Structure 1
């Protein structure tokens, strides 16, 4: 397993296919981390669509979506499932953030959160407007996650 990037280091860049819902329509497009420069990005890596803890985590981020957008922050959910699975998950729970499909574990590997095979550690990384990693939490056991209040407090520390 590779090491997670250090705080203060440039965030590993990646491009992944994503799906997001807009007024009931699924929009599929590639998203690139470096294209988000100018605003902070919350990268929420989660093990699986429609699993108990992942659903609770992403639904909480979706419910608190305005708290992120009020800070001009972008939130991306990232997991190894494909776009069809992500779309079903987003529709079922009304998720408002893009869900990125890391089917080949490119981002998972570059962020050092793979656990061998298709498994990954639940992790959240905050990347600042210049593309520098400013905060991270990597769970040892994926049964808990960092909530909206913790993430928005970290974003405020960036001056977001």
Structure 2
């Protein structure tokens, strides 16, 4: 079952790009969050999406939001991906797609490709927007518009 607008996001813990433990409760309730699930590091669409979030990262910070990217790649893969493209935001490893399953992120292409879904979450942990599209270019502007409307 997919999470929808009005639902609270689940609590989760995993590792970040540095291999350190990250618990969502460290940011939940303190600021708005943009949590985007993407298929894989270093693929053309995912790189385009990550670089769009990077290029507008200051805008997200100015709106009081933190950006978090999540995929099934390892912390080591995320570390290389973040370094290669100077990604300033949090990347989380979702081993076994546990977090993806908690959020109910669907798969695409007959279940072969992990889905691409972005959630905008208010500072109380409640989902304000869910954007499900394999078009990587649309996620960052969509999230930014939702945050601006929340202000």
Cα distance, 1:118 vs structure 2: 7.2
Aligned residue in 2 for 1:11: 9
Q: Pairwise mapping of residues 1-160 of structure 1 onto structure 2 (< 5 A)?
A: 3-19=1-17, 27-36=18-27, 37-115=29-107, 119-139=113-133, 142-159=134-151
Residue segments in structure 1 that go unaligned for 5+ positions in a row:
20-26
Distance in 1, Cα, partners of 2:121 & 2:53: 17
Higher helix fraction (1 or 2): 2
Cα distance, 1:98 vs structure 2: 1.3
* 2:104 aligned counterpart, secondary structure: coil
Taking structure 2 as the reference length, the TM-score comes to 0.89
Residue segments in structure 2 that go unaligned for 5+ positions in a row:
none
Distance in 1, Cα, partners of 2:38 & 2:71: 5
Taking structure 1 as the reference length, the TM-score comes to 0.85
Aligned-residue Cα RMSD (Å) equals: 1.8
Q: Count the aligned residue pairs.
A: 148
Runs of 4+ in 1 over 6 A off after TM superposition: none
* 1:41 aligned counterpart, secondary structure: strand
